[in-house]
């Protein structure tokens, strides 16, 4: 199913993001995680691609595994290091595998890797996919605190409008920890005439490595509540995990209370964390979406 239909049918869409195993690892290394995540019945699961020349190569197979588990996949596709021929190959593969939804991304610039001769921005990729007659639903990325390459949020939103006008049907946000940033962003998108659904990205901060690496890479602002949590529990993994799950649940419920159109969890292939959060959030999602209780 196309994800745009899910947004038409539901008040709030709920999804997970996973990443493929390293190129040297067996693809089956993620099968167990995909099965466990699928059993939680998210509306869809998105599959990242690593940046770089061959970065898109394992995403289609993982997306196919997700589909085989009965959940709609959203395949990420970056263009910054690819030419038109490589993108056409990737699109053909996705089409052959029956993938209906693609997250069209520029990707981060990798030092030393040659830039694409054909694509400078994600909007170029969106125009290219539409121009070649592919019938994918196309999602795009957005940044509630602004994209780091852009001097200010207003300019970033102007660029985002160009991407949406090129044919994006929904937006997935970068992770953030202060919901007020997302609410202000949502208001600015409405003023800019961006009216496609926007899903809020939440990353449960449950491991030291998340604190050290991923948060740094995303550039997300760290509220005092998170700083206290990390300072207190940095060397006690179980406590950090519990605190991180509680923070993510609180964030998701506040977002749903404020009427967001969807929550996208960066679950880092961790079914335990996904399950704990889903157990708290799904009764609310069921009420919002008018799904009767199982009992």
* Cβ 287 to ligand FAD shortest distance, Å: 27
Q: Does 49 bind ligand FAD (CB under 6 A)?
A: yes
* Cβ 11 to ligand FAD shortest distance, Å: 21
Q: Does 172 bind ligand FAD (CB under 6 A)?
A: yes
Q: Which long-range contacts (CB under 8 A, 24 or more apart) does 188-192 make?
A: 188/153, 188/154, 188/157, 189/142, 189/157, 189/160, 192/157, 192/158, 192/160, 192/161
Using the rule CB under 6 A, which residue among 76, 93, 170, 276 binds ligand FAD?
Answer: 76
Q: Does 48 bind ligand FAD (CB under 6 A)?
A: yes
| CA–CA distances in Å: residue 229 to residues 158, 213, 274 | 36, 17, 20
Percent of the chain that is helix, strand, coil (3-state, to 5):
45, 15, 40
Q: Does 105 bind ligand FAD (CB under 6 A)?
A: yes
* Cβ 159 to ligand FAD shortest distance, Å: 3
Q: Does 106 bind ligand FAD (CB under 6 A)?
A: yes
* Cβ 76 to ligand FAD shortest distance, Å: 3
Half-sphere exposure of 71 (CA within 13 A, CB side): 27
* Cβ 156 to ligand FAD shortest distance, Å: 4
Helix or strand run (H / E) with residue 218: helix 215-218
Identify which range of 6-14, 141-149, 254-262, 281-289 contacts ligand FAD by CB under 6 A: 141-149
Q: Does 174 bind ligand FAD (CB under 6 A)?
A: yes
Binding mask 222-261 for ligand FAD (x = CB under 6 A): ----------------------------------------
Classify residue 17 by its DSSP letter.
E
The three-state (H, E, C) secondary structure of 244-292, written as one string: HHHHHHHHHHHHHHCCCCEEEEECCCCHHHHHHHHHHHHHHHHHHCCCC
Identify which range of 43-51, 189-197, 233-241, 275-283 contacts ligand FAD by CB under 6 A: 43-51
40 versus 175: smaller Cβ distance to ligand FAD: 175
Is 17 marked active-site? yes
Q: Does 156 bind ligand FAD (CB under 6 A)?
A: yes
For tokens 């940046």, name the residue.
51
240 versus 263: smaller Cβ distance to ligand FAD: 263
172 versus 241: smaller Cβ distance to ligand FAD: 172
Q: Does 205 bind ligand FAD (CB under 6 A)?
A: no
91 Cβ contact list (under 8 Å, min separation 6) = 77, 102, 129, 132, 134, 136
Helix H segments across 97-134?
A: 122-131
Half-sphere exposure of 113 (CA within 13 A, CB side): 17
- Closest CA relative to residue 185, chosen from 137, 221, 134, 234: 221
**Catalytic positions, written as ranges:** 17
Name the site residues for ligand FAD (rule: CB under 6 A): 48-49, 51, 76, 78, 105-108, 121-123, 141, 147, 149-150, 156, 159, 163, 172, 174, 201
């Amino acid at each position: 199913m196309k994800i745009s239909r899910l947004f038409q049918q539901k008040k709030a869409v709920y999804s997970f993001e996973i990443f493929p195993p390293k190129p040297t690892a067996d693809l089956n290394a993620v099968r167990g995680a995909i099965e466990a995540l699928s059993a939680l019945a998210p509306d869809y699961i998105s599959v990242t691609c690593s940046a770089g020349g061959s970065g898109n190569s394992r995403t289609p197979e993982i997306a196919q595994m997700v589909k085989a588990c009965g959940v709609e996949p959203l395949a990420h596709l970056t263009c910054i290091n690819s030419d038109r021929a490589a993108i056409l190959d990737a699109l053909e593969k996705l089409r052959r595998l029956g993938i209906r939804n693609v997250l069209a991304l520029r990707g981060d610039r990798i030092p030393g890797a040659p830039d694409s001769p054909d694509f400078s921005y994600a909007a170029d990729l969106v125009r290219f996919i539409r121009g070649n007659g592919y019938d994918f639903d196309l999602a795009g990325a957005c940044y509630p605190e602004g994209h780091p390459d852009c001097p200010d949020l207003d300019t970033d939103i102007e660029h985002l409008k160009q991407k949406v006008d090129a044919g994006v049907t929904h937006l997935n946000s970068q992770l953030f920890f202060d919901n007020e940033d997302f609410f202000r962003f949502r208001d600015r998108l409405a003023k800019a005439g961006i009216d496609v659904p926007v899903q809020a990205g939440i990353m449960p901060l449950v491991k030291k490595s998340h604190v050290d690496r991923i948060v740094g890479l995303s550039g997300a602002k760290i509220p005092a509540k998170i700083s206290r949590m990390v300072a207190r529990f940095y060397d006690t993994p179980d406590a950090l995990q519990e605190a991180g799950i509680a923070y993510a649940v609180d964030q998701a419920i506040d977002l749903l209370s404020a009427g967001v159109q969807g929550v996208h969890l960066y679950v880092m292939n961790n079914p335990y964390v996904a399950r704990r959060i889903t157990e708290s959030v799904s009764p609310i999602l069921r009420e919002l979406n008018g799904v009767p209780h199982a009992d």
